[in-house]
């Protein structure tokens, strides 16, 4: 596109120069007839100067520069694990300290924790209005 704009502007400058030199303007009487060549020269120089300014503006546009080739980074080194990778010993199962339901300790815990605890069915009424089974622990 830059090349097209440059040639289009150059052709407009050449055409303007040729037209201004070929068609002098007469203001009336013959007393200005001897000066039309001077006017054409001035207009031609004006067109040439305009073309130089426009060409300089087009030429000063930033150009695309191809970046230097950078090879892709190498993949990270892989080091296989050393020794036995299989787990032979597992941690012990977690110890549950929950109180077994329907024991005297369970009754004491649930009745102390929930004011709405019902020992007949082991439930209490939560803030949502529903009955929940008491889980101690």
Position 18 in a domain: yes
Map residue 51 onto helix, strand or coil. Answer: helix
Scanning 23-121, the segments in alpha helix (DSSP H) are 36-59, 104-113
Average pLDDT over residues 82-97: 68
Q: Residues 20, 40: contact at Cβ < 8 Å? A: yes
Task: Say if 76 falls within a structural domain.
Answer: no
Instruction: Assess contact for 107 and 119: CB atoms under 8 A.
Output: yes
How many domains does the chain fold into? 2
* 116 within a domain of the structure (yes/no): yes
Asked if residue 137 has pLDDT above 90, the reply is: no
Find the domain containing 114 and state its range.
Answer: 104-133
| Least confident residue range of 3-7, 21-25, 37-41, 65-69 | 21-25
Mean pLDDT of the residues in the chain: 76
Query: What pLDDT score does 76 carry?
Result: 76
Predicted confidence at residue 40, as pLDDT, reads 73
Task: Answer yes or no: is pLDDT of 19 > 80.
Answer: no
CA dist 111 and 42 (Å) reads 111
């Amino acid at each position: 596109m830059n090349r097209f704009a440059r040639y289009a502007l150059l052709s407009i400058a050449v055409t303007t120069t040729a037209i201004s030199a070929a068609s002098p303007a007469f203001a009336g009487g013959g007393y200005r007839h001897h000066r039309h060549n001077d006017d054409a020269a001035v207009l031609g120089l004006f067109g040439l100067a305009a073309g130089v300014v426009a060409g300089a503006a087009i030429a000063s546009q930033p150009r695309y520069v191809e970046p230097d080739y950078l090879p892709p980074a190498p993949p990270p080194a892989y080091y296989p694990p050393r020794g036995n990778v299989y787990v032979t010993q597992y941690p012990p199962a977690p110890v549950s300290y929950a109180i077994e339901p329907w024991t005297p300790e369970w009754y004491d815990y649930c009745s102390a924790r929930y004011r709405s605890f019902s020992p007949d069915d082991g439930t209490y009424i939560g803030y949502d209005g529903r009955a929940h089974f008491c889980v101690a622990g």
